[in-house]
Every structure is written in C-alpha cells, then in structure tokens.
Amino acid sequence: MGLLPSTSPAIPGAEVARPYCGFRISRVTVPQRAAFISIADPNGKARNWEKRTMDTKKFDSHSRRELIRNAALGGGAAAVLGGLGINPLIGAAMAKEAGKSSKPLKAAFSNAGLQATWCAQGKQAAEYWGSLFNVEVTWFDGQLDAVKQRSAIDNMASQKWDFVAIQADGIGTLTAPVNKMIDAGIPVIDMDTLIAPLDTINVHALLAPDNEFMGASVTQALVNAINGEGIMVMTQGQLGHTGAQGRARGFKSVVAKFPKIQVVDEQPGDWSVTETARIWDGLLTKYPKIDAAYFHNDDMALAASKVMQAKGRTDIKIGGCDAMPPAIKAVQDGVMYATVRNPSCRIHGGAIIAGVNAVVNGEKTGQGGIPKNVVTDGPVVTKANADGIAWMEEQFLI
C-alpha cells in the first residue's frame, strides 16, 4: 500500500494521502510547517511528497483526530498515523483495505455505567474508532447497576448485530443473554472485566488490563512515598467486579510485605462519588492520622480528596486507578500522588478493531487470530510522564 497526494476538501490548501498499490511507506517527518511522506516504489526508488502544509501551532487535538479520521476513510492511515507517532501496528491495521467494511456494520456496546468517567471516555473512544472503520455503535448503558445492565443486555440480545462488546458490571450477571448472542453467531468481545470465567464462555476475546498489577503498582508507589510505614486505607469498587477484585489483591500483595503498615479500612465505595464522600467523611473523623489511601478508581479518589481538603487533611498521599484526565491534572498539581492507566481508549477502540476483523476478515480466536485474553496494561502515572499520557488520551490511543 502506498500513497499519492490528493487535495482534501475539508482543509483548504491541504493535501491528504490516498491509497495507491505497489508503494511502500518508509518514513514520515513533520517539520514546523509541512509534513513529508517518504515512500519507495516497487523498484526501490525513494520518492517524497509534501503531504500538507500547516501551522502546527494551530493544529489542536481535534484537528489531529480529524486528520487521522479523514486519512483512514481515504485508506492512507498508516502513513498519517505513523507521522503522528501512533503505533505502527494500529496504523497498518487501519490502512488495510480489507480492514474496513464496504457497508456500515452494526455494533452494540455496553459498559458498567456512563456516570463513571472511565466508561464515558470509553464510549467516546468506541464511537471515534467506529467512525474510522465504518461501524455504527449503539450504546446500552449499565448505569452502575447490575440489574439495570442485565435488562439492557436482554434488550441487546433480542436484536441482530454484527458484533457486540460488553464490560459487565459484575461477573456472572450477564451470562444468559451473552450466550444467546454467541449461539446466534454474533462475536462478543469482553471488555475490562469478566462476563464469566473465560473457560466457561465462548467470547471472541477479552481485552483487559492486569488489574492486580494496577493495584500493586500504585500501592507500591504510595508505600514508597510513606517510607514503608504508616496507616493506609483502601476504598474498593464494586465487590462483584473482577477488576476491583484484582486491584484489591494487588493492594494486599504489597502491604503484606510491610509489617509497619496498618490498613484500617477497606470499605467498597461501589464506584460512587457520593458513597465515597460519605465513607471518607466518617474515616477522617474516626482516624486523626491516615498516611496514604488507594482508591479503585480516580472518581472516588477525587471525591475523597475534596472531603480531605474541606477538613484540612491534605497531607494524605492519594493513589487512584484509571488515569482519567482530571486525575492526571491532580497528579500534576500535587493533589494526587499517583494513578495508573486503565486504558479505556485502547480497550474500547480495540473492541472495534477486533469486531471488524471478526466480521470482515473472518478472524478467529486462537492461534493465527486474536488471543482469547489480550492484556492491555497502561503505565503508572506520576508527574514525570503525566503530560504524555494526557496527550495519548486526547487522541483516544490509551
């Protein structure tokens, strides 16, 4: 797949790439005002084309996303994505002509609840990546309630879809309607948390982080910050959520190594900012000294931080999980000590790509296809790398 320049109607005076068979992309460079694509023809002769002229100071994140989208729709995604520093595997996948359906695909998505910022960001990412791959995404909100999500998934299972992707609010709560869709031949992608144990359900793939790693890595950062001794609290997510279960195991695996650390509370905040604020109002009254606290998501961490600030307890080291934009800013500002990226965009966008590959390319689960369990870990976020992670999230990449 190669490139030839063509004028873009969306950007006056700009040129975007379009596919031209027989050429090989070798590199992309982006100087101050113009981007150049260097490719080689089948005879190995290098050719350079100016892709577009632009003032990079005015090229904001929305413009970058539009450039990527327009390039993908034109088939030249690999070169453009490579030029913006995007993973070449993603760029190559987007550039494959067979990787996008000629007619719109219908996909149904559900995650735990759009009240949670992680879930809301995931919806944005799924819709964005869906626009690149000609996928119409219909959303079934879990509303952070297992019973309500079950009703939504029962509704989903009564309809016809090309593929579906689901983050279950609790393990085992959605098994029957999911099996109904699987039996109907619909590829089901499991996101972030187990719908059911993988050896008991024939999902197409699970895209999820190592939650135990996430819990352990932030806890270790907090332990280091308090020199391995002191009073700690863990505020958990929903206890039936396998992600929360893994984060709790990670937390406990670290604190068990430090006999001078005392854990005084492990109540579940159930992902609710209201419940978490209530819990922490009581904890700060009960315990005059708390050195560090780990929260199973950033929303709860930030809710508790407001209570801490109101009570003048800003000395507590706060660790979160998800690395959502408000939490990244809190790390940059010193309000939070650390968080870890649960890559919502990578998971939800990856579900789009996995579904398209299953439907358009016939990709199967297992050897030669998509692994049954795809680990999607992101890094611990501190002041040192916060800016870069924030940029990656703006592009729906992590």
Q: How far apart are CA 268 and CA 277, in angstroms?
A: 12
Contacts of 256 (CB under 8 A, 6+ apart): none
Under 8 Å between Cβ of 3 and 21 = no
For range 207-226, the mean pLDDT:
97
**How many other C-beta atoms are found inside a 10 Å radius of the C-beta of residue 297?**
28
Structure tokens at 91: 């760029």
CA angle 176, 178, 181 (to 5 degrees): 115
Q: What is the pLDDT of residue 91?
A: 52
State the burial class of residue 143 (Cβ atoms within 10 Å of its Cβ: 0-12, 13-18, 19+).
middle
Residue of 307, 296, 288 lying closest to 246 (CA atoms): 296
Taking only Cα atoms into account, the Rg of the chain, rounded to an integer number of angstroms, comes to 23
Stretch 93-97: mean pLDDT, rounded? Answer: 48
Q: Is the pLDDT of residue 258 over 50?
A: yes
With vertex at residue 300, the alpha carbon angle to CA 299 and CA 306, rounded to the nearest 5 degrees, is 95
| Average pLDDT over every residue of 317-330 | 97
Q: What is the pLDDT of residue 111?
A: 97
Cβ-based burial of 227 (10 A; exposed 0-12, middle 13-18, buried ≥19): exposed
The alpha carbon of residue 5 and the mean position of all alpha carbons in its chain are separated, in whole angstroms, by: 33
Ramachandran class of 191: left when φ > 0, alpha when ψ lies in -120 to 50, beta otherwise: beta
- The SS3 call for residue 264 is strand
Overall average pLDDT of the 272-298 stretch: 98
pLDDT band at 212 (very low <50, low <70, confident <90, very high): very high
Class of domain 211-340 as given by CATH: alpha beta
Looking at residue 100, its pLDDT comes to: 81
Q: How far apart are the C-alpha atoms of 380 and 389, rounded to whole Å?
A: 10
| C-beta of residue 85 within 8 angstroms of C-beta of residue 68 | no
Tell me the CA end-to-end span of the chain in Å, nearest whole number.
Answer: 26
Q: Which of 13-27, 147-161, 193-207, 290-304 has the lowest mean pLDDT?
A: 13-27
Output 197 or 1, whichever has higher pLDDT.
197
Give one DSSP letter per residue of 190-258, joined into a string: EESS-SS-GGGS--SEEEE--HHHHHHHHHHHHHHHTTT-EEEEEEB--TT-HHHHHHHHHHHHHHTT-
Cα gap 321→26, rounded to integer Å: 38
pLDDT in tens, 366-397: 999 999 999 999 999 999 999 999 999 999 99
Per-residue pLDDT at 101: 82
Query: CA 84 to CA 97: how far, in whole Å?
Result: 21
**192 with 346: CB under 8 angstroms?**
no
The pLDDT value given to residue 55: 39
Quickly state the pLDDT bin for 8 (edges 50, 70, 90). Answer: very low
Query: What is residue 18's three-state secondary structure?
Result: strand
**Fold assignment, 101-208+344-377:** Rossmann fold (3.40.50)
* The pLDDT of residue 301 is above 70: yes
The full set of domain ranges for the chain reads 2-95, 101-208+344-377, 211-340
Question: Using 50, 70 and 90 to split pLDDT, how confident is the model at 66?
Answer: low
Say what the pLDDT of residue 22 is: 33
Residue 89 pLDDT class (50, 70, 90 cuts): low
Predicted confidence (pLDDT) at residue 80 exceeds the cutoff of 90: no
**DSSP secondary structure code for residue 160 in this structure:** -
Q: What is the pTM of this model?
A: 0.74
Q: How many CB atoms lie within 10 A of CB 326?
A: 15
For the chain, percent of residues with pLDDT exceeding 70: 75
Closest CA to 294 of 272, 311, 269: 269
pLDDT at 162 > cutoff 80: yes
Phi, psi angle pair for 313, to nearest 5° = -110, 50
What's the mean pLDDT in 263-267? 98
Q: Quick check: 75 pLDDT over 60?
A: no
3-state secondary structure (DSSP) of residue 41: coil
22 or 133, which is more confident? 133
CA-closest candidate to residue 261, choices 304, 305, 227 = 227
